[in-house]
Amino acid sequence: MILHKIQTSPAQDNALSTCLRYIDKQDTLLLSGNAINALLLTCWKKKLSQITVLVLKEDIEARGLDERLNQYSSISYEQFVQETLRHEKVISW
C-alpha cells in the first residue's frame, strides 16, 4: 500500500499523469498545494474517480475551495502524518 503525494498542478508538470500510470487499487493519492486544482477539471475528476483521493484541508481552505471540493476527504497535517505511517511507502511525485 503506497501513499502517492502530488503537490503540483497538472498544468505545471506531468506528475499526476505519471503517478496514475503506476498507482494500484489499494494505494492512496494525496493532493496538496496546486495539485488540488486538478479536482476542478472534469477530465481529472473522471481519471481520479476510481482512486482513493485525500486532500490537505489547509490547502483547500487557503484557496477558498471548501464548498467546491467538499465531496473529497480532506485531512489535516496531523492526519497526513498518520497516513504516512499507515502506508508501507510514500512517493512524492
Going by the DSSP 8-state scheme, the letter that residue 81 receives in this structure is H
Return the pLDDT at 30: 98
pLDDT tens for residues 7-41? 999 999 999 999 999 999 999 999 999 999 999 99
Report yes or no on whether pTM surpasses 0.85: yes
Q: Torsions phi, psi of 76, nearest 5?
A: -85, 175
Which residue is listed with cell 473529497?
Answer: 72
Contact 39, 72 (CB under 8 A): yes
Ordered DSSP codes for 8-60: S-TTT-SHHHHHHHH--TT-EEEE-GGGGGGGGSHHHHHHHTTSEEEEEHHHH
Average the pLDDT over 56-82 and give the result: 95
